[in-house]
Each structure stands twice: as C-alpha cells, then as structure tokens.
Amino acid sequence: MKRDFIAIADYTPAELQEMLELALLLKQEWKTGGNKPILKGKALALIFQKPSLRTRVSFEMAMVHLGGYAFYLSPQEIGLGKRESIADVARVISGYVDGVMARVFDHEHVVELARWADVPVINGLSDYNHPAQGFTDAFTIFEHFGRVKGLNVTFIGDGNNVAVSLLHIVAKLGGNFTWAGPEGYEIPEKAIAEAQAFAAASGSTLRFLHDPHEAVHDADVIYTDTWVSMGEEAEAEKRKRVFPPYQVNAALVAEAKPEVVVMHCLPAHRGEEITDEVADGPHSLLFRQAHNRMHAQKAILARLLGGL
C-alpha cells in the first residue's frame, strides 16, 4: 500500500523519529563519500503552482544523490483543476513516474492529488501546512541538540503553514512549543486541536501568547518566518504595520537562553521579521537549516520510494 507525505499529523512519533535518524545517516553518508543509489531508476515529478528556490533544488538534488531523477513541471504545463481535473492529472502522471511532489496554493489540491494518484505524493507546501519544511526543522533541531523531546521551541510571527507543521512535529516528538504573534494572526484552531492531542500523548506543553518577550523566555529555539506569505500580498501594508513588535532582533534573542538557536525557513525579509545581526550572527542556523532540506527530503524519498 502506497504512503503519502501530506501532513506531519499522518505519521506516528516513532515513524518521525526513525525518519530523523535516517536523515542524519543519509547526511553523514553523503559527507563521507556519497549516498548509495537506492532510488536508481526512480523518477519524481515536481509540480509547482508557487515558485521556490529551496523546494525545487533540494528535491532535485536529493533524487540525484540517491540515484534517481526529478523533473520540474511549471504552472503553465499543469493547470491543476483548471485545464485538466486534478483526478485526471493524478491518474495520468501515475503511469509515468514513481512519485510526485506538489507545491500548491489550496491544500485540498494536494489532498485530491494524493487521493487519485497510484504513486506516493509529497506535500511541498500548501496554504494550510508545510510538512517537508516542518520535518527539516525537526531534523535541524535534532542534529544540533541530539533530541527534540524536552526542548523549548518558540515561533514568533504569523500563525501560518510553516507554524502549523512545526507545531505538530514538536508536539509529536515531545518538545514544548510556544507561539507568539498579533491578535487575528493565530495558528488555525483545527491545527491547535490536533496538536493538543499530540501533546497529551507525548507530554509536551503548548502555549499560545501575544507577548514575544514572554514567549522567548527560556527558549532553546526561536523560529520566525516572513510576515507576508505568497498569496497574501493584498494585505502586505496592513501586516507591515501590525508585526514590527514581533521582529526577531538581538534584544529579543538576548532574553532567551544563552545557547538559543535562531531558525527561519527562508526567504527572509531582512529588516522586517529578522535583522541582519541575528540572521548572520552566532545563534543563526538559517543556512544549515536550508541545506538540511535536501537531507531531510532524502529520508522522506527513501521511505516513500525506496521502502526504507
């Protein structure tokens, strides 16, 4: 039976931990001579409705490193649900490739793609969540600290798709999660309800605040993201008036633990949600985190396409 990667919520804590350990193994293997071609002869289609630097390059190179092949399909080539129904796209492409990665606007589009496809489908981002990023974030934390369980992870800013997946994987793995942002920009209630169930099982603590200073107290990880995500440009000016108190700057970082690390999924709008001093400073894991997209996604691909 095929397995998809549509949401962190679909995987058990044990499965996620096993995949984190696999990602670390694959990264170490790559650094010491290269990965084994476990996906030799396998092809991955990359369907993009939204542009991306990290998602495209990291998935393509992950397939190359594992001996497979990936190719990009632009919005002009596949109009999901427009030129052709999603069900038809899924059934046609399933006869050509071994897996599909889709980066979409509407979460239901990737859900429907997975429903009709005969091959594994990976969610490369939707308006609801970003599980490939969330898994990478957990991998970066795991690699740096040796664990996720018991760590205090604080997300400062918009309760967006990145925040949803980070919340879910931290709660699943027993980390403590705090969100702080302005009123009206909270993480969706559905995502919080799911996370509360995960936290009850793992013993993690969840907090949802509006005070960034209270939120970063005792933080091991401070995470931020752009104030204006793709598709929200119409409200950009409003957001830029509301979010400045939630900037991750040196003063805010100084209120956390001395060994705190700072993360951002990129692209960063420097001078808005994060300052140069922090992004390029000693606490920053931004670029290791970006590079880890490739290694974390190798684990996802190895699991779904290679049977590991």
**DSSP-derived secondary structure for 29-87:** HHHTT----TTTT-EEEEEESS--SHHHHHHHHHHHHTT-EEEEE-TTT--BTTTB-HH
Catalytic residue (choose from 65, 103, 239, 264): 103
Residue 249 lies in a domain: yes
For 226, residues 6+ apart whose C-beta sits below 8 A from its C-beta are 157, 158, 267, 268, 269, 272, 273
**Residue 103 annotated in active site:** yes
**Residue 225 annotated in active site:** yes
Catalytic residue (choose from 54, 65, 109, 130): 130
Same domain, 158 and 273: yes
Same domain, 199 and 107: no
**Residue 65 annotated in active site:** no
pLDDT of residue 231: 67
pLDDT tens-place values along the chain, 308 residues long: 899 999 999 999 999 999 999 999 999 999 999 999 999 999 999 999 988 999 999 999 999 999 999 999 988 888 776 778 999 999 999 999 999 999 999 999 999 999 999 999 999 999 999 999 999 999 999 999 999 999 999 999 999 999 999 999 999 999 999 999 999 999 999 999 999 999 999 999 999 999 999 999 999 999 999 998 766 777 888 999 999 999 999 999 999 999 999 999 999 999 999 999 999 999 999 999 999 999 999 999 999 999 77
Same domain, 87 and 149: no
Residue 31 maps to which CATH number? 3.40.50.1370
Q: What is the dihedral of CA 46, 48, 54, 55, to 10 degrees?
A: -50
Residue 1 lies in a domain: no
Catalytic residue (choose from 265, 283, 297, 303): 265
Same domain, 142 and 275: yes
Same domain, 224 and 262: yes
Q: Which domain holds residue 257?
A: 133-289
Do 188 and 119 touch, CB atoms closer than 8 A?
no
Catalytic residue (choose from 49, 133, 289, 297): 133
- Cα distances (angstroms) measured from residue 25 to each of 57, 61, 131, 281, 295: 21, 17, 20, 28, 9
pLDDT of residue 199: 98
pLDDT of residue 263: 99
Catalytic residue (choose from 264, 293, 295, 303): 293
Same domain, 158 and 277: yes
Catalytic residue (choose from 17, 54, 225, 289): 225
**Residue 106 annotated in active site:** no
Counted domains in the chain: 2
